[in-house]
Chain A
């Protein structure tokens, strides 16, 4: 069965590239660009993995992550956090909020693919 990834990213071209890379690798990929709709999408789709951008319109990545972790229905979903800022405190904040992995933009296609594969290993 195809594993399902929900990509929450407001940059359309980045989202398109990630979606292409993961789809080609056999993942089912859904996309959401608006932070305020992201929580509802996660609850509806129940993805195996969420790739979550740090800076989003509506609701920030950290706020979404905190809400996911606070809800028993979504608390166990693995989350890969993306950021274009890369500062130490962003990483600390993401880890504190419950991110499983953290990647700094710009990343290579091979790197994000490797991260996703590693996170989906049983």
Chain B
């Protein structure tokens, strides 16, 4: 089947791009709050205020001439990630896994030298990866040391968990696993695997690659059905508390689980994508409308996560499935 009829999409509660932009982003996300999430430096500052853990920030490069000192700054760092502060969708992120004798090994195994890194920083500052091409800053962060449970799940990149949060209540979640096809990136349209998660338990409910249902990871062979995120309640509470620091009504939070530090906030997104519906095999609309009917929402992140766990639990599999 090439196309699906609009009435069928509606019946399944699929949220479309136009509706998302008008009814959710437009209505619940105040414009002046966007810079808080579009700029990772500001997000990190806020996260510290609210006690939300994030990957450790090492350096910020704000001017072209300070790129000269990059070599100095990187001394002593074993692995790090260079990111544009205003980047989106994983654009412009360079992950250096290992440094040996001035040779930097990228996440993919490719090697680059200091000049390459400097050029990368210079591009970032000129706004190549930023939204609308505006001038930007580059940030250098510590690498995440993923929890061993996640290490075996994907190749190259670190698996992250995207949670959609509406009025502070987690609505839907998915785990993103990079593949060879996605070149270590966690973008679904580039070939990463999206694993839909049951909000009640953190167990896998559905998994897709390129919009098609998959049962195992094509590179690692892991059976995706068995995935269950450890310490799920904590993670969901952390996601719910992201609403407090950003103040946005409709929000996407990308979380990772670090071996030592536990769940970390990677970045926030004021315009989270719609692919999460495909990964879950379910539409966002019924859940969004459920939350819209609430007259007041608890101020406590833990209670909100609890609401999600009770109300948005995956229904037992349909008998026809």
A, B: real partners: no
Interface residues of B (CB under 8 A from A): none
